[in-house]
Amino acid sequence: SKVPPIILNNGVEMPQLGFGVWQVPDDEAEQAVGTALAAGYRSVDTAAIYGNEEGTGRALAASGIPREDLFVTTKLWNTDQGYDAALRAFDASLAKLGLDHVDLYLIHWPAPALGKAGDTYKAFEKIHADGRARAIGVSNFLPEHLERLLDATSVIPSVNQIELHPRLQQRAAREFHAEQGIATEAWSPLGQGKGLLEVPAIVAIAQKHGRTPAQVVLRWHIQLGNVVIPKSVTPTRITENIDVYGFELDTEDMAAIRALNEDRRLGPDPADFNAA
Ligand code: NAD
């Protein structure tokens, strides 16, 4: 495979680079995911709230790629938190994807005001024990949310998927995850493309290596050990974003990107995001 895996804390292999489909309408998802699979991606990141599990599932089926070579992630939306609701929501996601199991199932947000993350995660443990999710984890959990979860449950989450890019490097969270054996997965790894890809330091590193700014940013993540799930619906960019294994950033490049951290989020603050 084009993309080397990382090994999750339960031994499951996850491709370190996958394809994200947030904001891709259901009727375009089949084509976008199909393009990604043809370009060599084997991991796809969707969510119930994205409304494109059906289109994603159609692309997976149409690809003819053996199920065991694919890695499919979906996520449970806030309104489906709670033990019984989570089990029902998982059934609905599987049906839409047209699958009998996913590779990774994530609680999309901690939604602390709901107070249901612990019960929700107990349903995830059952789904995992039943073999319907090869790995389970969380998304947007701050270390304090993870600590609360770890106190109340038995299966350590395999992954925490958080906003992470050169302007929001999440050093404390990454360190905490590493101590706990939780893989860090970066959402909006390209900073949503906005501005980040024009930052002079990144452009200069790209020129030095004869690569694009997007490839430099993705390579930075790979070298840090992050899982990345860049999104694009443009075939040339989809291809460009997976072509990050033929070069290496040096210490100087890594330090220059490290200096770009501003601790600035593009998305909501997990401490008070409880959206329905
Ligand atoms: P991203 O950082 O992947 O940026 C995507 C945007 O960058 C594209 O829409 C395009 O405008 C631009 N782009 C992509 N490739 C490019 C290239 N090669 N050259 C120039 N510009 C390029 O942003 P994202 O979509 O927000 O995040 C990726 C994925 O992360 C999502 O699709 C989704 O799967 C996941 N995500 C998860 C959460 C969560 O709460 N768990 C939140 C947001 C995103």
pLDDT tens by residue, 214-272: 999 999 999 999 999 999 999 999 999 999 999 999 999 999 999 999 999 999 999 99
**What DSSP letter does each residue of 44-89 carry, written as one string?**
EE--GGGT-HHHHHHHHHHH---GGG-EEEEEE-GGG-SHHHHHHH
Q: Which residues are part of the catalytic machinery? A: 50
Mean pLDDT on 169-195: 97
- The answer to the question of residue 274 being in a domain is no
User: Ligand 1 atom closest to Cα of 46?
Assistant: 34
For residue 96 the two structure tokens come to 């839409």
For residue 16 the two structure tokens come to 């370190």
- The answer to the question of residue 210 being in a domain is yes
Q: What is the CATH number of the domain that holds 96?
A: 3.20.20.100
Count up the domains in the chain and report the number: 1
Q: Please tell me the distance from the alpha carbon of residue 8 to that of residue 182, in angstroms, as a whole number.
A: 8
Q: Residue 84 C-alpha to ligand 1 middle, in angstroms?
A: 32
51-78 confidence digits (pLDDT tens): 999 999 999 999 999 999 999 999 999 9
- Name residue 102's beta-bridge partners: 133
Q: Residue 231 C-alpha to ligand 1 middle, in angstroms?
A: 4
ipTM, two decimals, is 0.99
Protein residues whose CB sits closer than 6 Å to any atom of ligand 1: 20-22, 45, 108, 139-140, 161, 187-193, 197, 212, 214, 229-232, 237, 240-241, 267
- The answer to the question of residue 227 being in a domain is yes
Domain that holds residue 132: 5-267
**E-assigned strand segments in the chain:** 5-7, 13-15, 19-20, 43-45, 71-76, 102-107, 133-139, 159-163, 183-187, 227-228
Q: Residue 83 C-alpha to ligand 1 middle, in angstroms?
A: 31
Length of the chain, in residues: 276
